[in-house]
């Protein structure tokens, strides 16, 4: 019972937050769609069904149109991100330095692919275009920490370190 | 104003302001199209209609360019033909090679273009799509692998249905047409009208067929299999068998269905009359009390889906009566079963209709009794055509036969339900009779006929004027209801048909759906009404018999239990 009511509270809070964010945008039309989506992505870390519906109601757009536009851009994700969001750089330099093998290793270790989140909500994985550290390629980032000169052999160790720290 | 242009070294006069495509077609010059749809906005997506215009460096899409005085156009030059051929080759490069097994084999626009443009080799190898087939909807199967992204479905869903359930999603080689959050169709805001299926040039959108299940029931000796067909079916089947569009094949269908193995063949139009009698009495009771008006018809299944999904506040305005085919199904499993002494679970009822949404409707909880559904299978008109062909029936040589009792008596009111405005007209006839205790002087309501999407009428009765409106094309209905909500218009009765022109233009009709064919079907129904002696639902002797023997008249406890239904709000992403 207690847990349930907390859940409801959290939902209500999120709903209020969604409305607050949307009110910050003056133009209630299609022009505001991308800025609103960006603000939602920043706030919640992903675009949920509820957010798509709320934006649609606010801008008088069908949900399919909101999702259609959002799904065009890779900056928007539709599953909640993990506590530790791993971005693997696949810019030209990192690509040449075999970023693909790092993605492969992460997928093997975590059991998730690009754009997915582990069941326990700990890790999520995203392959991104250049993150601007080409001299240190290949690079990965975990939340805001950057790991230069990454090797697929070091992935297991890194993940264990994070898990240890979290405990 | 007319201007002169030169096409293929000949001079033509064309309307200023027309697109090149329209100008060419008006002058009998055909260029192929894929994404173009008459009355809908051009998108220029498929580039099949490209033509060469002197002075332009690149080829020009004829569908989205207006003609100009000075234009010199080549429609079939070597360069144009090569471009069109390459376009088709590119579409085919990622298209599955399973034409032989495709439902649209022989009736596919992509296949026809490949044939017309002499595509004989696979010159371009694309990678095959790995999209999953979406079979979640009981009405429509979606195979994105066969989709060529012409966007016709997206436009009918937005511009005619007005619900915008689907849109282009993702991008590049992952671009696809899908619902919000890429949910399976059944869990989306889809109202199953099927206009997208009729508009699809390939096999990407098809009927959710149940041929095998139907064949199994027809094969079981101990099962009685009945067929009922709605009034638009006999006038919508002609094109499939080389008859003139609009030919009424009623008697021939009865014969064909019996040859296929159906034990009884009924006309839904009989219970169409019953629906009208029930609706008329519901209307009169509300009209007298001035309560819950306007009454809004609920016979269009896709419309009910729309109200439940998008505007649940309107549920209390819907006529709470089962649709004619659900009345028939219910009466077969009860009245008819008792009469023939067959247990209801040994009867399988098949509905044949132009409405693809019925495939979903029959699964509704309220349309089953003791786990035995009131209607077991639904065949669309185009599926019926396939079934007739499968059984090797030469329909041209068949004699007309009457349909079976006890549902054989049909007034032309029940048949009018096939066309937009027909339900309103039929209901008015009975309402007037109940209120004035005499028949209307002129049964035909000219204002409710014709081809306008919104048709209004006002009739005077001893108890006051009744104002009615019939609207077809869901987007038009949505707009009209907004105006009703804002108080700009007031009505006592509103008929909504999701498909423009009503059921004759339904999502289950033959593909392609040609405008002239639909007009011909409307004309036939109008003529049936003109020539029929019994024009009013309350004069149907079979309906009178049902009330007398089984239900004791409209609005009695028995008839409420048997004939009424309910609607509930549906929560999906919309």
List residues bridging with A89 in a β-sheet. Answer: A128
Q: Is B452 among the domain residues?
A: no
Q: Does the structure's ipTM exceed the value 0.85?
A: yes
Q: Tens digits of per-residue pLDDT, B538-566?
A: 999 999 999 998 888 888 888 888 999 99
Mean pLDDT of chain B: 94
Q: Express each pLDDT in B138-170 by its tens digit.
A: 999 999 999 999 999 999 999 999 999 999 999
Q: CB contact, 8 Å: A52 with chain B? A: yes
B18: preceding bond cis by omega (within 30 degrees): no
pLDDT of amino acid A2: 45
Q: Region B364-375: what's the mean pLDDT?
A: 90
Distance of alpha carbon B372 from its chain centroid, rounded?
Answer: 27
Tell me whether residue B229 is in a domain: yes
The pTM for the full model equals 0.92
pLDDT at B14 over 90: yes
Same domain assignment for residues B289 and B406: yes
The verdict on a CB contact (< 8 Å) between A71 and B182 is yes
pLDDT score of A88: 95
| Domain final residue pick, B190, B207, B224 | B207
Give yes or no for A63 touching B (CB within 8 A): yes
Q: Can you give the pLDDT at residue A7?
A: 57
Helix-strand-coil split of chain B, %, nearest 5: 40, 15, 40
Measured between beta carbons, which residues in chain A are less than 8 angstroms from residue B164? 62, 64-65
What is the pLDDT averaged over residues B393-400?
94
CATH of the domain spanning A2-70, picked from 1.10.10, 2.60.40, 3.40.50, 1.10.3470? 1.10.10
Looking at the fold, whether B128 and B63 belong to one and the same domain comes out as no
Q: Which candidate, B77, B555, B4, places its Cα nearest to that of B283?
A: B555
Strands B224-229 and B347-353: parallel
Residue B390 has pLDDT above 80, yes or no: yes
* B294 upstream amide cis, omega within 30 of 0: yes
Residues written for chain A: 167
Q: What are phi and psi of B362, to 5 degrees?
A: -65, -15
Report yes or no on B9 lying in a domain: yes
End-to-end CA distance of chain A: 28
Q: Are residues B63 and B123 in the same domain?
A: no
pLDDT of B205-238, one tens digit each?
999 999 999 999 999 999 999 999 999 999 999 9
CA distances from B35 to A120, B41, B152, B441 (A): 46, 10, 6, 49
- Domain check: are B200 and B242 in the same one? no
Residues B234 and B358 in one domain: yes
From chain A, the residues in CB contact with B167 under 8 A are 62, 64-65, 67-68
Dihedral sign (CA B321, B325, B326, B330): positive
Q: Which residues of B touch A71 (CB under 8 A)?
A: 169-171, 182
How would DSSP label each residue in B52-77?
EETT-SS-EEGGG-B--TT-EEESS-
Chain B residues within 8 A of A52 when measuring between CB atoms: 180-181, 573
- Tokens 């959710």 identify what position? B208
pLDDT of residue A150: 94
Measure CA B293 to chain center: 27
Distance of alpha carbon B567 from alpha carbon B570, whole angstroms = 9
Residue A167 has pLDDT above 80, yes or no: no
Rounded average pLDDT over A49-77: 94
Same domain, B238 and B362: yes
Percent of chain B with pLDDT over 90: 88
Euclidean distance between CA atoms A88 and A118, whole angstroms: 16
The predicted model gives B382-390 an average pLDDT of 96
b (16+ CB within 10 A) / e for B56-81: eeebbbbbbbebeeebebbbeeeebe
Q: Is the CB of residue B133 less than 8 Å from the CB of residue B143? A: yes
Scanning B467-548, the segments in alpha helix (DSSP H) are 474-485, 515-531, 541-546
pLDDT band at A74 (very low <50, low <70, confident <90, very high): confident
Packing angle, helices A63-70 and A33-44, rounded to 10 = 70
Q: What is the pLDDT of residue B383?
A: 96
Could you tell me if residue B451 is left (phi over 0), alpha (psi between -120 and 50 degrees) or otherwise beta? Answer: alpha
Q: What is the pLDDT averaged over residues B310-338?
A: 96
Q: Are both B203 and B216 inside the same structural domain?
A: no
Tokens of B7: 């096409």
Predicted confidence at residue B42, as pLDDT, reads 87
DSSP string, B253-268: HHHHHHHHT-SEEEET
pLDDT the model gives residue A4: 45
Residue B177 lies in a domain: yes
Same domain membership, residue B170 and residue B97: yes
Clarify whether residues B202 and B217 are in a common domain: no
The answer to whether the CB atoms of B169 and A67 lie below 8 A apart is yes
Assess whether pLDDT exceeds 50 at residue B79: yes
My answer on whether B203 and B228 are in the same domain is: no
Q: What is the pLDDT of residue A8?
A: 63
In terms of residue numbers, what domain contains B293? 212-298+321-440+506-550
Residue extent(s) of CATH 3.40.30.10 domains in chain A: 84-166
**Are both B274 and B345 inside the same structural domain?**
yes
B163 to chain A, closest Cα gap in Å: 8
pLDDT value at residue B503: 97
Mean pLDDT across B484-511 = 96
Identify from A33, A53, A59, A62 which residue to disrupt to test chain B contact, counting B C-beta atoms within 10 A and taking the largest count. Answer: A62
How far is residue B73's CA from residue B359's CA, in Å, rounded to a whole number?
48
- Report, as an integer, the average pLDDT of B428-440: 94
Please give the tally of structural domains in chain B.
3
The pairs formed by B456-462 with CB atoms below 8 angstroms and a separation of 24 or more are B456/B491, B457/B424, B457/B428, B459/B428, B459/B432, B461/B431, B461/B432, B461/B435, B461/B436, B462/B435, B462/B436
Same domain assignment for residues B217 and B199: no
Q: How many Cβ atoms are within 10 Å of B278's Cβ, its own excluded?
A: 26
pLDDT score, position A6: 57
Residue B141 lies inside a defined structural domain of this protein:
yes
Question: According to CATH, where is 1.10.10 located in chain A?
Answer: 2-70
* Class at the top of the CATH hierarchy for domain A84-166: alpha beta
């Amino acid at each position: 019972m207690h847990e349930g009511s907390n859940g409801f509270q959290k939902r209500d809070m999120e709903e209020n937050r969604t409305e607050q964010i949307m009110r910050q945008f003056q133009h209630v039309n299609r022009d505001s769609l991308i800025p609103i989506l960006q603000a939602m992505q920043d706030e919640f870390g992903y675009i949920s069904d509820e957010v798509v519906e709320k934006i649609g109601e606010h801008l008088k757009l069908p949900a399919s149109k909101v999702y259609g536009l959002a799904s065009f851009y890779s900056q928007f994700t539709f599953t909640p991100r993990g506590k530790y969001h791993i971005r693997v750089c696949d810019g030209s330099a990192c690509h040449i330095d075999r970023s693909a093998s790092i993605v492969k290793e992460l997928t093997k270790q975590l059991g998730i692919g690009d754009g997915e989140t582990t069941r326990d909500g700990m890790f999520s994985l995203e392959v991104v275009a250049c993150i601007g550290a080409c001299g240190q390629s290949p690079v990965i980032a975990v939340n805001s920490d950057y790991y230069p000169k990454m090797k697929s052999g070091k992935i297991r160790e890194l993940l264990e370190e994070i898990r240890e720290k979290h405990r | 104003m007319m201007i002169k242009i030169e096409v293929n070294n000949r001079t033509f006069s064309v309307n200023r302001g027309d697109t090149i495509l329209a100008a060419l077609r008006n002058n009998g010059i055909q260029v192929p199209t894929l994404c173009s749809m008459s009355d809908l906005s051009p998108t220029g997506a498929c580039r099949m209609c490209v033509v060469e215009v002197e002075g332009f460096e690149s080829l020009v899409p004829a569908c989205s360019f207006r003609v100009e005085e000075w234009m010199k156009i080549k429609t079939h030059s070597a360069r144009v033909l090569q471009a069109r051929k390459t376009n088709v080759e590119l579409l085919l490069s990622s298209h599955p090679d399973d034409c032989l097994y495709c439902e649209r084999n022989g009736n596919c626009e992509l296949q026809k273009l490949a044939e017309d443009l002499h595509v004989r080799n696979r010159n371009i190898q694309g990678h095959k799509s790995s999209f999953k087939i979406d079979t979640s909807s009981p009405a429509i199967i979606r195979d994105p692998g066969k989709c060529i992204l012409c966007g016709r479905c997206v436009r009918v869903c937005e511009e005619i249905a007005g619900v915008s359930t689907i849109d282009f999603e993702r991008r590049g080689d992952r671009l696809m047409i899908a619902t919000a959050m890429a949910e399976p169709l059944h869990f989306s805001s889809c109202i199953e009208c099927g206009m997208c299926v009729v508009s699809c040039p390939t096999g990407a959108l098809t009927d959710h067929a149940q041929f095998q299940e139907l064949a199994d029931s027809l094969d079981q000796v101990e099962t009685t299999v009945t067929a009922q067909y709605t009034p638009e079916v006999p006038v919508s089947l002609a094109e499939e068998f080389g008859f003139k569009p609009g030919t009424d094949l009623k008697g021939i269908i009865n014969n064909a269905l019996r040859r296929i193995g159906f034990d009884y063949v009924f006309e839904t139009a009989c219970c169409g009359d019953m629906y009208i009698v029930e609706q008329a009495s519901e209307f009169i009771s509300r009209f007298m009390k001035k309560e819950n008006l306007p009454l809004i018809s609920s016979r269009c299944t896709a419309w009910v889906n729309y109200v439940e999904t998008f505007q649940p506040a309107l549920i209390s305005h819907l006529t709470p009566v089962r649709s004619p085919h659900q009345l028939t199904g219910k009466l077969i499993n009860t009245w008819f079963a008792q009469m023939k002494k067959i247990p209801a679970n040994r009867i399988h009822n098949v509905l044949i209709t132009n409405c693809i949404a019925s495939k979903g409707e029959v699964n509704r909880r309220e349309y089953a009794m003791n786990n035995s559904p009131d209607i077991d299978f639904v065949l669309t008109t185009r599926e019926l055509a396939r079934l007739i062909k499968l059984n090797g029936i030469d329909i041209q040589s068949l004699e007309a036969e009457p349909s079976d009792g006890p549902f054989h008596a049909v007034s032309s009111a029940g048949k009018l339900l096939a066309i937009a405005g027909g339900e309103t007209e039929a209901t008015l006839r009975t309402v007037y009779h109940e209120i004035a205790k005499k028949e209307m002087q002129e049964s035909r309501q000219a204002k409710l006929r014709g081809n306008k999407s919104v048709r209004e009428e006002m009739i005077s009765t001893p108890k006051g004027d009744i104002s009615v409106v019939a609207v077809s094309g869901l987007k038009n209905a949505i707009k009209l209801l907004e105006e009703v909500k804002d108080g700009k218009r007031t009505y006592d009765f509103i008929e909504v048909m999701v498909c423009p022109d009503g059921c004759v233009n339904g999502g289950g009709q033959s593909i392609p759906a040609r405008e002239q064919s639909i007009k011909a079907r409307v004309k036939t129904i109008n003529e049936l009404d003109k020539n029929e002696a019994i024009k009013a639902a309350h004069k149907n002797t079979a309906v009178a018999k049902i009330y007398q023997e089984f239900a004791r008249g409209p609005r009695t406890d028995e008839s409420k239990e048997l004939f009424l239904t309910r609607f509930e709000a549906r929560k999906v992403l919309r």
